[in-house]
Amino acid sequence: MVIMTNWTSILFLFLSLYIFADETNATVTDVNSVYTVINCPVGVGYIPIDATGNGPATWIEPTATSTNAGDITLVTRTRQPGDTFMFNENTQVTYQWQDAAGAFALCQFWIRLQTPGVITVNSCPTSPMTATSNGSPVVVTWTTPTATSTSGATVNSASLSPTHYPGWTFIAGDTVVEYYWQDTNDNYANCIFTISVILDQQSPSLNNCPSDMSVSSNQVHWTDPTATDNIDTSPTVSCIPPSGEFFSTGDTTVTCIATDDATNTATCTFTVTLVDVIPPTVNCPDNIMSSENVVNWMTPTASDSSGIAGVVSCDPPSGGSFPNGETIVTCTATDGAGNTGMCTFTVTVAVTDPNSALNADSAFTVSNCPVGVGYIPIDATGDGPATWIEPTATSTNGGVTRIARTHQPGDTFIFNQNTQVTYQWEDAANKFATCQFTIRLQNAGENYPKGVISYLRIAVPLYKYS
Ligand SMILES: [Ca+2]
Ligand SMILES: [Ca+2]
């Protein structure tokens, strides 16, 4: 007879629970590796026996074999089938064997006489649950198991008394977590599992950290390094800033961090050098039409990926005197890396010059342009239509097209107001001719002062009316 303290019994029970798992045919290796114990009802918490009061209970008795030579002796059997048990009490039953070599094996379980029905436990976590720690307590969570009674009795949740709750912290080592339930028929059930926290104080290894790189595009991609660890099979790897980020001109240090489950870290760094090869973007104003030779505009803005676009200058500059016709203005800005961006716009000056007929393109001949008349007076008493002989043009270059006619005979004009009428033509050589004159509806015989109205016969390239 082996006498054990209560503490030792509990330890042996947990050993057998752990070793037998959910099988009834298991080897008690930790007790003595030579044994095979059959029909030890481990993992069931207790064996429920339907009853209405104190009475006998039966069960299949466990047996043991040993690889050691000689006979095996059952040295302990605290109860045997047919014994009387107390109603609604858990009674522990212990079997212990000793073989000829002196090795022991143990089987312990509980018998309970109770009202018919058992409590079924749902989602008891699989034991052991594992976690890793770098030495600090770690938070472990699990799904809280639930229980239902097959007898239809109500499971008394008030009796739910876990030893630990999900979300608690655990230190390295094994911790046994237990849940117990009781129903209104006084049936019992439990769920027992082990949380095994493994001490890991070794940092992961980072492999294939990118080399320093020089790039010309500000969006930079690379392949993140990989990591291995002594325990964590998939340490996380992240880089700051991450691949695919937009970088600023110059040097940026990228730091990659590998982290294992126990929050041990390893880092590596590399440098991304962004060489600026992108010229600034210069934002020109819209094309300018001017009736004066001196033309001003707001200095264009410019932007650059480096953040510094440089000073914008235009050629010819704002505020200068522009000739009649179209002038292309080019504005540029140069960034710190010497990249120059540019944009262009046109300044078209159309200054009405009474003497510009002398500057007419010599290829043109314009007929019926009423030059020298100041204006064409039309007798009228109010707003109304006016008619005139329309001018025409020919060119030695051929291909003359009338590209503008601001008014045509029959149009209505405002009384006592000078209205300028413009015709313009373009020939096959892209030369232009313009005829401008003034129409005025006025009282018959009225002499509105002549000579103050500008007029023009044939014009050099002024501007295209659209
Ligand atoms: Ca590790
Ligand atoms: Ca740039």
> Looking at the structure, do residues 78 and 20 belong to the same domain, yes or no?
yes
CA distances from 305 to 15, 219, 274, 281, 308 (A): 68, 11, 11, 9, 8
pLDDT at residue 457 above 90?
no
> Looking at the structure, do residues 45 and 85 belong to the same domain, yes or no?
yes
Residue 87 lies in a domain: yes
Measured in Å, residue 207 CA sits from the centre of ligand 1 at 15
Residue 37 lies in a domain: yes
> Looking at the structure, do residues 104 and 124 belong to the same domain, yes or no?
no
> Looking at the structure, do residues 91 and 42 belong to the same domain, yes or no?
yes
Residue 433: per-residue pLDDT: 85
* Rounded Cα–Cα distance for residues 334 and 440 (Å): 55
Q: With pLDDT > 70 as the criterion, what percentage of the chain qualifies?
A: 84
Mean pLDDT of 159-168: 81
pLDDT at residue 290 above 90?
no
Measured in Å, residue 346 CA sits from the centre of ligand 2 at 26
> Looking at the structure, do residues 302 and 333 belong to the same domain, yes or no?
yes
Dihedral (CA of 308, 313, 314, 318) sign: positive
Q: What is the mean pLDDT of the chain?
A: 83
Mean pLDDT of 69-93: 93
Residue 35: per-residue pLDDT: 87
Measured in Å, residue 280 CA sits from the centre of ligand 2 at 5
φ, ψ of residue 157 to 5 degrees: the values are -65, -20
Residue 192: per-residue pLDDT: 86
Domain total for the chain?
5
Measured in Å, residue 282 CA sits from the centre of ligand 2 at 12
The pair of structure tokens assigned to 319 is 């505020």
* pLDDT-wise least confident of 328-342, 397-411, 415-429: 415-429
Residue 239 lies in a domain: yes
Out of 173, 199, 225, a domain closes at 199
Measured in Å, residue 213 CA sits from the centre of ligand 1 at 30
pLDDT at residue 146 above 90?
no
The pair of structure tokens assigned to 284 is 């020109």
Residue 138 lies in a domain: yes
Residue 116: per-residue pLDDT: 80
Residue 373: per-residue pLDDT: 58
Q: pLDDT tier at 45 (50, 70, 90 boundaries)?
A: low
Residue 465 lies in a domain: no
> Looking at the structure, do residues 364 and 418 belong to the same domain, yes or no?
yes
> Looking at the structure, do residues 134 and 232 belong to the same domain, yes or no?
no
Measured in Å, residue 305 CA sits from the centre of ligand 2 at 5
Measured in Å, residue 199 CA sits from the centre of ligand 1 at 9
pTM of the model: 0.44
Print the domain residue range for 218: 205-274
Residue 120: per-residue pLDDT: 86
Residue 384: per-residue pLDDT: 94
> Looking at the structure, do residues 101 and 16 belong to the same domain, yes or no?
yes
Residue 322 lies in a domain: yes
Residue 23: per-residue pLDDT: 33
> Looking at the structure, do residues 43 and 61 belong to the same domain, yes or no?
yes
Residue 452 lies in a domain: no
SS (H, E, C) the chain: CCCCCHHHHHHHHHHHHHHHCCCCEECCCCCCCCEEEECCCCCCCCEEEECCCCEECCCCCCEEEECCCCCEEEEEECCCCCCEECECCEEEEEEEEEECCCCEEEEEEEEEEECCCCEEEECCCCCCEEEEECCCCEECCCCCCEEEECCCCCEEHHHCCCCCCCCCEECCEEEEEEEEEEECCCCEEEEEEEEEEEECCCCCEEECCCCCEEECCCECCCCCCEEECCCCCCCEEEEECCCCCECCCEEEEEEEEEECCCCCEEEEEEEEEECCCCCCEEECCCCEEECCCECCCCCCEEECCCCCCCCCEEECCCCCECCCEEEEEEEEEECCCCCEEEEEEEEEECCCCCCHHHHCCCCEEEECCCCCCCCEEEECCCCEECCCCCCEEEECCCCCEEEEECCCCCCEECECCEEEEEEEEECCCCCEEEEEEEEEEECCCCCCCCCCCCCECCCCCCCCCC
Q: Find the CATH number of the domain harbouring 222.
A: 2.60.40
Query: How far from chain centre, in Å, is Cα 240?
Result: 15
Residue 43: per-residue pLDDT: 61
Which ligand sits closest to the CA of 204?
1
> Looking at the structure, do residues 394 and 297 belong to the same domain, yes or no?
no
CA distances from 55 to 48, 80, 109, 150, 167 (A): 13, 13, 18, 22, 44
pLDDT digits (tens, 9 = 90+) for 122-144: 889 998 999 999 999 999 999 99
Residue 132: per-residue pLDDT: 94
Mean pLDDT of 276-300: 90
Radius of gyration of the chain (CA): 52
Ion ligand 1: residue ranges with CB closer than 5 A: 200, 202, 229-231, 260, 264
* Rounded Cα–Cα distance for residues 99 and 35 (Å): 9
Ion ligand 2: residue ranges with CB closer than 5 A: 276, 278, 304, 306, 335, 339
* Rounded Cα–Cα distance for residues 125 and 151 (Å): 24
Residue 325 lies in a domain: yes
Mean pLDDT of 413-420: 87
Q: pLDDT tier at 157 (50, 70, 90 boundaries)?
A: low
Out of 93, 114, 135, a domain closes at 114
Residue 160: per-residue pLDDT: 56
Q: pLDDT tier at 16 (50, 70, 90 boundaries)?
A: very low
Out of 347, 365, 385, a domain closes at 347
User: Is-contact 239 245, C-beta < 8 A?
Assistant: no
Residue 31: per-residue pLDDT: 55
pLDDT digits (tens, 9 = 90+) for 360-411: 577 888 888 876 555 788 889 999 999 998 988 999 999 999 988 989 999 9
CA distances from 27 to 30, 100, 232, 278 (A): 9, 18, 31, 75
Measured in Å, residue 334 CA sits from the centre of ligand 2 at 8
Mean pLDDT of 316-345: 91
Q: With pLDDT > 90 as the criterion, what percentage of the chain qualifies?
A: 48
> Looking at the structure, do residues 69 and 19 belong to the same domain, yes or no?
yes
The pair of structure tokens assigned to 393 is 């043009």
> Looking at the structure, do residues 14 and 106 belong to the same domain, yes or no?
yes
User: Is-contact 274 220, C-beta < 8 A?
Assistant: yes
Highest mean pLDDT among 26-30, 311-315, 318-322: 311-315
